[in-house]
Every structure is written in structure tokens, then in C-alpha cells.
Chains A and B, each alone.
Chain A
Amino acid sequence: MRILQVMYYTLLEYIRDKQSMAMMVLLPIGLIFLLGNALSGGFESSEVRVIDVAFLNEDKGEISKHFETFLESEEISKLLNITLVATYEEGKSLIEERRVSALIHIDEDYSKQIVMGDEAKLNLLFTQGSVFTQPIVTNIVRAFNNEANKINALMMIGASEVAHLGRNFIEEEPVVEGGEKPTAMGYYAVTMLVMILMYGSMYTSDGIGSLKEESTGKRLKVSPAKSYQIFAGVTLASLVTVFAQGVALVFFTKYVYGVNWGPNIGITLMMVFIMVLLSSSIGMAVGTLIPKRRTTEIVITTVVPVLTAIAGGYVPVGNLEGILGKLQLISPNYHMQNALFNHIFEGDPVKMLNAIMTMIGTTILMFTITLIARRRYINDSI
């Protein structure tokens, strides 16, 4: 009960803190608008226009021929630049040399499987590259594949031919947001949301700092409420506040800026919640480990912009190499963005799950660090 009391009154304080609210909600709304408009040209020309793709067809069946025709169609030519390869190894080496972004591979039994009524798949292999290329190629291939399976099913119940394969499917299932390609606004909506959620860690660290340094914190500590109850109440209030700010940002950008937040808004919000858990746990660990509240504030306000930049929050950077690449992998922003982009643009579900699992794992690690550090902190008082 005391946890809820602490949470309720802390939440009231947070809600009434206009300065923090403005920073957490209005600032990203403004930044998304500015960056989204100022850098939209760069997005359209370099990131989305034509993707180099290797293509290997080992099937030789009717359906895969339709796919070849489909790849040569005018609509797809605008998106994909196809290089035919003779073997899987050749395609793989092109990827390793980064001469293509993806390899589309059709197995020898593809058409046969479809005709037999079995579920057939097209194989895809990607470079570790831009967040945009992968979802585009995946969507094209998936849409064709689904259509092939669907038409075959129709044939089995009396439909006549499969010649319509590939026609108009883009209209039925848009490749990416905004019809065909991701917008700069959509990109920055994700990266700025992630950045703001990371800044949200300051709520938790500051809440813990105030318990240590503020007169009100001392007053709470000498009350009959247990130390863990106060700690939990303050942390929960931070969590609810940051989540509400994240949700507000998602809905504002969705309905005012027209940003696409993916096929299932519920899943998007669930991801936001996981990210809030992660950022709050980081705030808890930092707030507990660093003795001075002011130092905590400096650390977070310095590190978050760096993590945002490394993850491509301000300018898309793709996958970095060397030490920056390693830094990128430990940047929570990188994993948060990966999870969201893969969900929104219907990219690789495995990558999305990996990013989510990384976030959950890091959250558990941060909680553990906090618990260990807190024992030290509690022992300092009675």
C-alpha cells in the first residue's frame, strides 16, 4: 500500500513538473518535425531509391519464372537493381563484399511445393546494413510468396491460372510506410522516441538522488515506510511517467504527422514499455551507483546524445565497424531502434526478437547491479 502512496504522490509531482514535461514531450515533437523536414531529401535519394540485390533461381519451375518476370517489372525496377548469380556462394560473396544488400534465393523445389499445395518459401540473405533495405526486400518477396501460395490455393478450388502473380500486390500490401518507402519523419519519430525514452532514465536516477540528498527524501526515509517501499514507489512513478510520455509521442506523431507505427500499435506500445523498463533500470543503476545527484544528471545528459548518435539517431549510420561498431552494439538506442524498425517495416522478426531479448537481458542486468549497489547504500544508514 505504501508503495502505491509513494508512487501516487511522486507521480503527481512529475506530472506537475512542466519543465521536464516540455523537454520530454514537446522537444521530441519539435525535433521530429525539424529533422523530418530538413533531412527528408537525403532519405529519399540515398536510402530508399534502388537497392542492389543478387538473385539466384534454382527452381526453373513456372512460378519462379513469374517471380523473375515480376522482378523485371517497372515497379520493382524502381526499387531493386537485380544481379543474377549462378551459385549460392557467388551471391554470398557479393554480400560479404557489400556489393549487394541482399540475396534472393529460390530453392529447386519451390514451384513443385506450391503446386503440391505445400507451404513454399523464398530464402533471403542480407548484409548488415541500413535499416531500410531489409524491410523493403523482405516485403517484396513476402508479398509475392504469399500471393503465390494464395493463388495456388485458389487454383486448387477451381481458379484457372497463376499468370496474375505479382500484379498490383504492392497496392494490396504496401512495402513500407507512406505507400512505398519510409519517410524521414517516420525515421526520426522512432529515433527521437528512443532518445527521449533514454533521457527518461533521468526520472529514476533523479528520484533516487532526491531520496539520498533532498530533505524530503530524508523525511521519507525516517517515516515508517520501508526503504524498499519508497524506492519501488519512486521507480514505478518514473516508469509510468516515461511510458505515458512515450505513448503520447507515438499517438501525436501518428495522428498529427501521419507517422506509421507499424501494423500492430499494441505491439509497438509493448515495445515502448520494454524500452521504458530498460531506461528506468539504467536510471536505477546509475542513480544508485553514483553518489551525487548532480553527477548522475551530467552523466546521463552527456551519454544519451552520444548513444543516440552512434545508433544513427540524428543521421542514419547503418552498422558501424571497429570500435564504433562495438560501441553501437552496447548502445541501448541501437537495440531499441532495431526492434522498432523491424516491427514497423515488417523486417526480420528474428532480428526484432533478438533486439527485444537484448533489452530484457540488459534490464535484468541493471536490476541486479542496482540490488547489489543498494545493499551498500542501505547499510550506510541504520
Chain B
Amino acid sequence: MWAPEQKKKGAKKMILSMKDVVKKYDQLVAVDNVSLEVKEGEIFGLLGPNGAGKTTIINMIIGLTKINSGEVKIFGLDMKKNEKEIKKNIGIVPQEIAVFEDLTAEENVTYFGKLYGVKRKIIKKEVEEALNFVGLWDKRKIFPKKFSGGMKRRLNIACGIVHKPKLIIMDEPTVGIDAQSRNLILESVKELNKKGATVIYTSHYMEEVEAICSDIVIMDHGRIMARGSREELKALIKAEDRVVIAVEEVKNSITKKIEKLSSVIDCTEKNNEITVVSEKNSGKLGKIIDLISNEGIKIMSVEVDKPTLEKVFLTLTGRSLRD
């Protein structure tokens, strides 16, 4: 059951712990000695390109795939010995849309609610809540085959959350949908987290993970490349600052004057845009702006070019997420 109050008060419990987990398919090592921990109340992001091993990790957590070695504990319990107890408290939103086309939206959610042990006297209320949460209550009598891709994705979520699980696992829940539906889903993930659910969210969309996850693991070729908060990960590659200043007109050899400032590495100009590269955290932005203003140049805009997780991934793996 979701309990937001507890989330605020209590110490953070360990929801998932994986130690030295290995999964092989013949010669292919899908997951290579992975260890990770997810604490209560987190939105934990698993980031990596297709084939990185994200879905295999998810399948191992939910008991769909056997591990070759290592240990997986969920809620501090072993899946083999406490399968029912663990499964009751996990909500799955799989990568593929897993809803029955010949059952209405309401029947789909009710079916999964019942399988997850939602009591008969509250099932209607819980189904209504879940469908309302994803904005499909008005469409409850409609068969999913008549839904758009985004609506199916939302129904997919409703089926996974109807029993109010402690841990929600979302495996690339936004694949193949429009921007509006994607935003709705991202907002709903945040909302679920606010209600007290811990979320494991996998994606190869950098901006999604960046927008919602508090703790992130970057994976590639079955291995963990880096782990930390957004800021921690970005700090890995943030060796320099880059500022782009748009001006009305460039004059008086301003770029050369800026270049002479200490900590400034490079200064270039193109189409009335001055790009200044300086040492990391040098704090020279104010001086640069003063210098430009003193030369009588009108500043139109200033943009600080921040490092992104995309760049982090590129730096760590040497390839783009969408390769």
C-alpha cells in the first residue's frame, strides 16, 4: 500500500539489492557482475542503449529470468523463498504493451487487480482510482484495440499500479508514443513516487531519466558504467564551462580582449554570437559581461551550455545512446 507519510518520516529502507549478479545466454554475457541498490522512495533510473542489459536486470528482479550467479534481494527477501509476498508488492509496467485486446480497459485493470490480491469489496474503487490516475476512466468500457498507442501505454500503467505496489518497475514505458502522452506518463511517475511508491525506471531517453530520476545507473554491454545523482554524473565530465553570448554587433576586437582574461581557454565569434570556454567553476561570467558592456556592445542573451547525461554517456562509452 502506498504510504507517503511513512516515506517522509522513516529512515530509507532497502527495496532492492543486487550483488555481483551475472546472467549469460550461452557465450553472451547479458549482465556482467552487476551490483546495485535501490532505496525506498527513490525514482531509480536505469539508463542505457538497447541491448545494454536493462530489461534482463528487470526480468531477474521480477523472477522471469534465472541468474547464473550473485544475489538478488527485494524488500530484504529472497525471491525463491518469498515469491508470493514479493510479487504482491511489485507492480510491473513492461516494455511491451501487456493488455488483453478483447477485454475492456476496466476488465483488464480488474483482472490484474484480482490476481494481485485486491479484495473484492474494494476492487471497484481501486480500479476507478487507477484508471482515473492515467486518465482513462471515461474510456473504461472501450477495448484497448481501439486505443491510441499513448492510451494503451497508460492502460499498461494502470494494470501495473492498481494494487498499489511498494515497488513499481517501469521498463521503457514511453517507447513509441507522442510527446504529450510521454509527458503525462512522466508526470504520473513523479505522482506515484509522491504517493510513496519506489520506482525503477528504465529508458534510453536521456531527457526522461534526467527529468524524473533521483538516482541513476548508466549501463552498457551488461555492465554499470557509472552511478550517482544527475549532478554527480554530470560532474564526471564537467571539466570546463561554456557560455554563448548573443550581441547586437561585434566590435572592437572583443573576442581577443575576453581571451586575455585569466581562466578563459577560448573565445570565438560567429553570426554575432560570442562563445567563451573557460575553466570549470572559474566564475568569470560576470567579468565577461562587464567587459562586453563597457565596450558599448548591446547584449541580447546569455546562455550557459550545461553538460547533459547524453554527453556523460558519450564520454563514458564513446557512443551515443541511440547508436
Contacts and interface: CB of A to CB of B under 8 A. Distances in A.
A382 B72 CA distance: 12
Contact of B80 (A5, A216, A218, A382): A382
B111 interface: yes
Interface stretch (A12-20, A133-141, A186-194): A12-20
A215 B100 CA distance: 9
Interface stretch (A82-90, A222-230, A276-284, A348-356): A222-230
A17 B102 contact: yes
B114 interface: yes
B84 interface: yes
A209 to B, nearest CB: 15
Contacts of A222: 62-64, 87, 90, 92
A48 B64 CA distance: 61
A108 B216 CA distance: 98
Contacts, number: 65
B115 A5 contact: yes
Interface string A3-41: 001100100110011000000000000000000000000
A2 interface: yes
A46 interface: no
Q: Which of A2, A9, A214 has the most CB of B within 10 A?
A: A9
Interface in B55-110: 62-66, 79-80, 83-84, 87-88, 90, 92, 94, 96-100, 102-103, 107
Contacts of B87: 222-224
A220 B64 contact: no
A381 B59 CA distance: 10
Contacts of B94: 215, 218-219
B137 interface: no
Given A9-B103, A381-B63, A382-B80, A218 B114 contact: no
Contacts of B116: 223-224
Nearest to B89: A224
Given A215-B94, A216-B100, A224 B64 contact: no
A221 interface: yes
B159 interface: yes
A369 to B, nearest CB: 25
Q: Which of A218, A225, A382 has the most CB of B within 10 A?
A: A382
Interface in A194-209: none
A219 B107 contact: no
A57 to B, nearest CB: 66
Interface in A150-181: none
A219 B100 CA distance: 11
A216 B79 contact: no
Nearest to A220: B115
B66 A224 contact: no
B140 to A, nearest CB: 15
Contact of B88 (A13, A218, A224): A224
B112 interface: yes
Contact of A9 (B84, B96, B107): B107
B66 A223 contact: no
Given A9-B111, A224-B116, A382-B64, A219 B98 contact: yes
B117 interface: yes
Interface in B101-152: 102-103, 107, 111-112, 114-117
B65 A381 contact: yes
A9 B159 CA distance: 14
A263 to B, nearest CB: 40
Contacts of B63: 222, 381-382
A224 B117 contact: yes
A16 B101 CA distance: 10
B236 to A, nearest CB: 35
A24 B145 CA distance: 23
A215 B98 contact: yes
A9 B100 contact: yes
A13 B98 contact: no
A5 B114 contact: yes
B84 A218 contact: no
Nearest to A223: B115
A41 to B, nearest CB: 44
A16 B115 contact: no
Q: Which of A5, A219, A223 has the most CB of B within 10 A?
A: A219
Contacts of A5: 111, 114-115
Contacts of A221: 64
A221 B65 CA distance: 11
Given A219-B92, A225-B115, A381 B66 contact: yes
Nearest to A13: B102
Contacts of A218: 64, 94, 98
B99 to A, nearest CB: 7
Contacts of A382: 63-66, 79-80, 83
A12 B111 CA distance: 11
Interface of A: 2, 5-6, 9, 12-13, 16-17, 214-216, 218-225, 381-382
20 contacts: A5-B111, A9-B100, A9-B103, A12-B102, A12-B103, A13-B100, A13-B102, A215-B98, A218-B98, A219-B94, A219-B98, A219-B112, A221-B64, A222-B64, A222-B92, A223-B87, A223-B115, A224-B115, A224-B117, A225-B115
Interface of B: 62-66, 79-80, 83-84, 87-88, 90, 92, 94, 96-100, 102-103, 107, 111-112, 114-117, 159
By Cβ-Cβ distance, the 4 closest A-B pairs, closest first, are A215-B96, A215-B98, A219-B98, A224-B87
Given A9-B107, A381-B63, A382-B65, 18 more contacts: A9-B100, A13-B103, A214-B98, A216-B98, A218-B64, A218-B98, A219-B92, A220-B115, A222-B90, A222-B92, A223-B112, A223-B116, A224-B115, A224-B117, A225-B115, A382-B64, A382-B66, A382-B83
